[in-house]
Amino acid sequence: METNDFIKNFAAQFDDTDASEITLETRFRELDEWSSLNALAVLNMIGKKYGIILKLEEMKPTNTVQELFDLVQSKL
């Protein structure tokens, strides 16, 4: 699983946040746009692109894109 691809796929789930603003260090829950819809979008994306069905509560402890990446990586 490639980090740049993951960042791109992650950033695609935002409508009002520029993709260039999102890096591995981004604390995504602190983004203005972040809502439960984004959480769902990210979970759906992970399912579709990486075949991992992550539960919302598993995603809860992650705060940065890197942490989320690591979580998905651990399930592959």
Partner 1 sequence: MMNNPFSLLGKTILVTGASSGIGRAMAIMCSQMDAKLIITGRNKARLAETFSLLEGDENLQICADLTHTNELNSLIEQLPKLDGVVNNAGIAKPLILQLTEEEDIDEIMNINALVPIHLTRLILQQKKLNKGASLVFISSINGNNCAYMGSSIYAASKSALTGFMKTVALELAPRGIRANCINPGMIETNLLKSGNIGEDDLEKDRLKYPLKRYGKPEEVAAAAVFLLSDATQWITGSSLLIDGGYTIQ
Q: Which residues contact 60 (CB under 8 A, 6 or more apart)?
A: none
Which range of residues in 22-30, 40-48, 68-76 is near partner 1 by CB under 8 A? 40-48
Among 7, 11, 22, 54, binds partner 1 (CB under 8 A): 54
* Residue placing its CB nearer to partner 1 in the complex, 31 or 59: 59
Q: Does residue 55 belong to the site contacting partner 1 (CB under 8 A)?
A: yes
* Lookup: tokens for 28: 């995504």
> Which residue's structure tokens are 């980090």?
3
Among 44, 70, 73, 75, binds partner 1 (CB under 8 A): 44
d(CA 74, CA 17): 27
